Amino acid sequence: MNRILIAEDEPRLASFLNKGLRAAGYTTTVCEDGLRAAALARDEDFDLLVLDIGLPGQDGFAVLRALRARGDRLPVLILTARDELTDTIAGLDGGADDYMTKPFVFEELLARVRARLRSEARTEGTAGTGLELEAAGVRLDLRTRRAEADGTEVELTAKEFAMLETFLRHEHQVLSREQLLSHVWGYDYDPGSNVVDVYVGYLRRKLGAERIETVRGMGYRLR
Ligand code: CA
């Protein structure tokens, strides 16, 4: 679980960020004052700081400088108004990792948050972001859509990837054809179709036949 500190004094934007990031599975703390943000970043353990530049108490640049002066490498994503952009780019030299100009689309912010947390996880050698799945010698990167089997990259179509992802999310479980159909093709797909068997065949060809076991009368299982 990643913890994100949101320092933003516009109540609507703070609430929008808070709700969106929580919905995306992050734990959030919101503060609307620069001094408070600096204190929280110092005293508590966060994985990322979303930092508005125009804050009361102490502006975002001062918060960032204080952080870096202590040697704290907490990733910082700056939020800035368009007319502050020149200052902000100067601020990036002061140790910010990325910035976004307001107004922005939430999906864009989320993509940057994920990218930042992911590169941090890579640096620390941990896969703490939930963006990778690994089992039975198979590894999927959900962000880049890359697949590896026993360390070798495997080219998969979108449906093959989705099916393999379903298997990895249900490690050790037998998945029925109906479960695989509903996960990969959606509920309105013809239940009489043999498309699941066809795609299991494709995956076996790419990953090795032994990787997906047929459980007679029940379905398939990753092993
Ligand atoms: Ca502000």
pLDDT at 95 over 80: no
Instruction: Return the higher-pLDDT residue of 37 and 86.
Output: 37
For ligand 1, the distance from its centroid to the CA atom of residue 124, given in whole angstroms, is: 32
Q: What is the pLDDT of residue 123?
A: 57
For ligand 1, the distance from its centroid to the CA atom of residue 110, given in whole angstroms, is: 19
For ligand 1, the distance from its centroid to the CA atom of residue 99, given in whole angstroms, is: 14
pLDDT at 126 over 50: no
Distances (CA, A) of 112 to 65, 74, 99, 128: 22, 15, 9, 16
Q: Give tens-digit pLDDT for 184-203.
A: 776 456 667 788 999 999 99
Q: Which of 10-19, 165-174, 206-215 has the lowest mean pLDDT?
A: 165-174
Instruction: Return the higher-pLDDT residue of 200 and 182.
Output: 200
> What average pLDDT score do residues 64-87 get?
85
For ligand 1, the distance from its centroid to the CA atom of residue 80, given in whole angstroms, is: 8
Instruction: Return the higher-pLDDT residue of 89 and 78.
Output: 78
Residue 204's pLDDT band (boundaries 50, 70, 90)? very high
pLDDT at 102 over 60: yes
State the sign of the Cα–Cα–Cα–Cα dihedral 28, 33, 37, 40: negative
Helix H or strand E encompassing 170: none
User: Integer distance in angstroms from the first to the last C-alpha of the chain?
Assistant: 28
For ligand 1, the distance from its centroid to the CA atom of residue 38, given in whole angstroms, is: 15
Residue 59's pLDDT band (boundaries 50, 70, 90)? very high
Q: Percent of the chain beyond pLDDT 90?
A: 45
> What average pLDDT score do residues 22-26 get?
88
> What average pLDDT score do residues 129-157 get?
87
Q: What is the pLDDT of residue 127?
A: 42
Q: Token digits for 92?
A: 């990036």
Q: What is the pLDDT of residue 8?
A: 97
For ligand 1, the distance from its centroid to the CA atom of residue 209, given in whole angstroms, is: 57
> What average pLDDT score do residues 103-108 get?
82
Strand boundaries in 88-156, DSSP class E: 98-102, 132-135, 138-141, 146-149, 152-154
Average predicted confidence (pLDDT) for the chain: 86
For ligand 1, the distance from its centroid to the CA atom of residue 56, given in whole angstroms, is: 8
Give the integer Cα–Cα distance in Å for 4 and 23.
Answer: 13
For ligand 1, the distance from its centroid to the CA atom of residue 45, given in whole angstroms, is: 24
Instruction: Give me the helices (H) in the chain, please.
Output: 11-23, 34-43, 60-69, 85-93, 106-124, 158-169, 177-184, 195-207
Q: Supply φ then ψ for residue 53, to 5 degrees.
A: -75, -50
Q: Token digits for 210?
A: 């032994």
Give the integer Cα–Cα distance in Å for 50 and 99.
Answer: 9
For ligand 1, the distance from its centroid to the CA atom of residue 40, given in whole angstroms, is: 18
For ligand 1, the distance from its centroid to the CA atom of residue 118, given in whole angstroms, is: 27
For ligand 1, the distance from its centroid to the CA atom of residue 8, given in whole angstroms, is: 6
pLDDT at 62 over 80: yes
Q: In terms of pTM, does the model score above 0.85?
A: no
> What average pLDDT score do residues 65-81 get?
88
